[in-house]
């Protein structure tokens, strides 16, 4: 029987959202030469939050030129120790403004405040602190006695962790001595623009960080710009492939962090209650808008019925609704487009013969919502077992032996993450070795840390973000991954 909770909404008065925002180029906010603006909305209410500039070719050129000037004149000449001071200052400002940034993220993205406050923001600050620490120690990172920066980094990020993806990209780039032009996703530009304000507040030299808003076309112009030295992209595999084609034959260094279809594998000796929490965290965290989500649950046959019953019982206690309410577990789907994609794929699951289940779950009248959903009777051929749904939808398969679990887990074009639940340490090590996945969690899931490299195999992309390995992506050295 679920508990009743009184509403506990976080106040939104801590955030001042401007009615419109220009482009952050060369240290100031400027009007787009295209003259165009687009709306960004709160996906939980469909309320328009602000209008944001759409960067055209001339704006992209101006942003890259500003980044180049800042690189040549200031940032590449500055000592690592001085760069570190700026990055530390940014990290501290993020901590000071974390409540404001968490509310803004939740408003623009739809994720529960519990997550933006307790997961996204602490990790954002941690990434800047961690990389500030590296800025004056790069000669000890294992890339030779005097590793050099690359130049101007073009960075394109998605909407699922807007500020965290910015941190993953901007912090190592700056620490390694590069300047940045970053394009946030069309549906979630506001925290990147707040970050621009933080750069001003930190006194970061003009042009070291430039933020240009726009749609996919702006992203395309940015990554194809002839004067960028490095392209870093997180997003769909389809766009990642297009970027790889565009960059082929140029000298641009490229990292791609793309989709996933991770297996979360539960053996019969696993502590089932903990595993259930890990399964829930693995796929319903951030509405399943997580590239490394544990979207395929592989249950050992002998415990499948028991685990499924526990899982369903647990799902009836999840609370879907106002993302600003501190008791909310499942927030809004980020956009109507993403909702349509989830609906289309779940419909295909039913049409192909899988069995669909969701807890009784009242859906708000306005906004974009999808209840936590479980599919059983899933075969490996079903689309819901092969394609990234990027929503709160779990596909359950079963296995009998560890070998079968390995074969099923690796039977995917992706290779980003995997989870293993078992009491046996030797089995964890054996399984982890068999997984074709960049990240393998054991008896936990969706744990992130700036010291730990993150990245994929196969169609999940290449290059690593975070850790000492992630520095290599922003230095003029062989990529270690
Ligand atoms: P995209 O890959 O289209 O978007 C990611 C970023 O790339 C956004 O900033 C986007 O801009 C930009 N972009 C789009 N087209 C281009 C281009 N040709 N060149 C350069 N940049 C471009 O993902 P979507 O938002 O469309 O999501 C589609 C699907 O991708 C999801 O359903 C999900 O399955 C998957 N996805 C995976 C993510 C991951 O982390 N692995 C993250 C996001 C999505 P804009 O937003 O303005 O279009």
DSSP codes joined into one string, 398-425: EESSHHHHHHHHT-SS--SEEEEE-S-H
- Say how many Å lie between the CA of residue 215 and the centre of ligand 1: 10
Catalytic residue of the set 10, 54, 105, 291? 291
- Say how many Å lie between the CA of residue 238 and the centre of ligand 1: 8
Which ligand 1 atom minimizes the distance to the CA of 460? 41
pTM recorded for the entire structure: 0.97
- Say how many Å lie between the CA of residue 154 and the centre of ligand 1: 15
Q: Which of 186, 232, 235, 339 to mutate to test the pocket of ligand 1 (most atoms within 8 A of CB)?
A: 235
264, 267, 292, 299: which is closest to 278 by C-alpha? Answer: 264
pLDDT reported for residue 478: 74
Q: Is 192 helix (H, G, I), strand (E, B) or coil?
A: helix
Are 45 and 366 a contacting pair, CB within 8 Å? yes
180, 75, 218, 219: which is closest to 135 by C-alpha? Answer: 75
| Bridge partner list, 232 | 155, 255
- From atom 13 of ligand 1, which residue's Cα is the shortest distance away? 216
pLDDT reported for residue 213: 98
- Ligand 1 pocket, Cβ-based, cut-off 6 angstroms: 156-160, 183, 185-186, 215-216, 219-220, 223, 234-236, 239, 242-243, 258-259, 291, 338, 341, 388, 390
Name the residue with tokens 């990554």. Answer: 223
200, 123, 161, 217: which is closest to 331 by C-alpha? Answer: 161
- Say how many Å lie between the CA of residue 236 and the centre of ligand 1: 5
pLDDT reported for residue 4: 79
Are 419 and 438 a contacting pair, CB within 8 Å? no
Q: Which of 161, 165, 186, 219 to mutate to test the pocket of ligand 1 (most atoms within 8 A of CB)?
A: 219
Catalytic residue of the set 10, 54, 257, 388? 257
**In whole angstroms, what separates CA 279 from the centre of its chain?**
19
Burial bucket for residue 39 (CB in 10 Å: 0-12, 13-18, 19+): exposed
pLDDT reported for residue 342: 98
CA-derived radius of gyration, the chain: 22
Q: Is the dihedral of CA 244, 247, 248, 254 positive or negative?
A: negative
- Say how many Å lie between the CA of residue 116 and the centre of ligand 1: 21
Are 331 and 323 a contacting pair, CB within 8 Å? yes
pLDDT in tens, the chain (481 residues): 556 789 999 999 999 999 999 999 999 999 999 879 999 999 999 999 999 999 999 999 999 999 999 999 999 999 999 999 999 999 999 999 999 999 999 999 999 999 999 999 999 999 999 999 999 999 999 999 999 999 999 999 999 999 999 999 999 999 999 999 999 999 999 999 999 999 999 999 999 999 999 999 999 999 999 999 999 999 999 999 999 999 999 999 999 999 999 999 999 999 999 999 999 999 999 999 999 999 999 999 999 999 999 999 999 999 999 999 999 999 999 999 999 999 999 999 999 999 999 999 899 999 999 999 999 999 999 999 999 999 999 999 999 999 999 999 999 999 999 999 999 999 999 999 999 999 999 999 999 999 999 999 999 999 999 999 999 999 999 765 5
Name the residue with tokens 């290779």. Answer: 415
Q: Is 316 helix (H, G, I), strand (E, B) or coil?
A: coil
Which ligand 1 atom minimizes the distance to the CA of 335? 25
**In whole angstroms, what separates CA 463 from the centre of its chain?**
15
Q: How many CB atoms lie within 10 A of CB 309?
A: 10
The torsion angles phi and psi of 471, rounded to 5 degrees, stand at -65, -35
Alpha-carbon span 215 to 156, nearest angstrom: 11
């Amino acid at each position: 029987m679920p508990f009743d909770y009184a509403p506990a909404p976080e106040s939104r008065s801590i955030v001042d959202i401007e009615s419109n925002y220009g482009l952050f180029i060369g240290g100031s906010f400027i009007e787009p030469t295209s003259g165009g603006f687009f709306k960004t909305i709160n996906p939980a209410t469909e309320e328009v939050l602000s209008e944001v500039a759409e960067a055209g070719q001339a704006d992209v050129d101006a942003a890259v030129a500003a980044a180049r000037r800042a690189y040549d004149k200031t940032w590449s000449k500055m000592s690592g120790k001085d760069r570190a001071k700026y990055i530390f200052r940014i990290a501290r400002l993020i901590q000071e403004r974390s409540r404001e940034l968490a509310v803004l993220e939740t408003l623009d993205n739809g994720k529960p405040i519990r997550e933006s406050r307790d997961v996204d923001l602490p990790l954002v600050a941690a990434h800047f602190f961690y990389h500030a620490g590296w800025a004056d120690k790069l000669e000890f990172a294992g890339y030779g006695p005097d590793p050099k920066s690359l130049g101007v980094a073009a960075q394109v990020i998605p909407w699922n962790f807007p500020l965290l993806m910015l941190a993953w990209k901007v912090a190592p780039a700056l620490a390694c001595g590069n300047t940045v032009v970053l394009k946030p996703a069309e549906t979630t530009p506001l925290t990147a623009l707040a970050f621009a304000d933080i750069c001003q507040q930190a006194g970061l030299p003009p042009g070291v960080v430039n933020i240009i808003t726009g749609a996919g076309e702006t992203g395309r112009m940015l990554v194809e710009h002839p004067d960028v030295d490095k392209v870093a992209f997180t997003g769909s595999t389809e766009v990642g492939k297009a970027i790889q084609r565009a960059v082929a034959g140029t000298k641009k260094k490229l990292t791609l962090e793309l989709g996933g279809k991770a297996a979360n594998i539960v053996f019969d000796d696993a502590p089932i209650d903990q595993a259930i929490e890990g399964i829930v965290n693995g796929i319903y965290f951030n509405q399943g808008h997580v590239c490394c989500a544990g979207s395929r649950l592989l249950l050992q046959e002998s415990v499948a019925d028991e685990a499924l019953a526990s899982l369903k019982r647990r799902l009836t206690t999840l609370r879907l609704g106002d993302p600003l309410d501190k008791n909310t577990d499942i927030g809004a789907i980020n956009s109507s487009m993403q909702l349509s994609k989830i609906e289309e794929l779940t419909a295909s699951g039913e049409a192909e013969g899988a069995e669909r289940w969701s807890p009784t779950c009242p859906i708000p009248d306005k906004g974009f919502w999808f209840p936590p959903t479980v599919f059983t009777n899933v075969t490996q051929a079903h689309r819901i077992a092969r394609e990234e749904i990027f929503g709160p939808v779990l596909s359950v398969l079963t296995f009998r032996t560890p070998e079968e679990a390995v074969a099923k887990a690796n039977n995917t074009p992706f290779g980003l993450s995997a989870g293993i639940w078992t009491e046996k340490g030797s089995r964890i090590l054996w399984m982890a070795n068999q997984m074709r996945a960049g990240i393998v969690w054991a008896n936990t899931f969706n744990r992130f840390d700036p010291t730990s490299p993150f990245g994929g195999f196969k169609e999940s992309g290449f290059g690593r973000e975070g850790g000492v390995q992630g520095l290599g992506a922003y230095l003029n050295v062989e990529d270690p991954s």
